[in-house]
Amino acid sequence: MRFYVMECSVEHDEEGHRFNLMADGQVGGYIIYEVCGGCMDIQHTVVYPELRGNGLGEVLVDAATEYAESKGLGISATCGYARKLLAKGEM
């Protein structure tokens, strides 16, 4: 069963080192990251099961990479999913 997302956005919690995926006003996933030595490391990417298969993990990784670029940070990924996207050059 697929969940239909009527509205989707990403909110950045800079103090918490987290990007939250908001789907219809509720958290539907998140990325956790750390910044060290001028580099952002994406450590964990989660999209809740009812939202999977809709490309929302890519939305989160894209938001994180855009933030890193805007701050002049390098980007790496401990998270396997994010690492795969970055290696493909999709971000």
Q: Which amino acid is at 10?
A: V
Average pLDDT (4-10) is 74
Q: CB-based contacts of 49: which residues, under 8 Å, 6+ apart?
A: none
Tell me the residue range of the domain where 31 lies: 8-88
1 within domain boundaries: no
Residue 62 is part of a domain; what is its CATH number?
3.40.630.30
Instruction: Return the pLDDT at 34.
Output: 98
Dump pLDDT digits (tens) for 11-63. 999 999 999 999 888 899 999 999 999 999 999 999 999 888 888 999 999 99
76 within domain boundaries: yes
Number of domains in the chain: 1
Instruction: Return the pLDDT at 71.
Output: 96
Instruction: Return the pLDDT at 24.
Output: 83
**For the chain, first and last CA: distance in Å?**
28
- 90 vs 70: which has the higher pLDDT: 70
2 within domain boundaries: no
Tell me the whole-structure pTM to 2 decimals: 0.87
- 50 vs 65: which has the higher pLDDT: 65
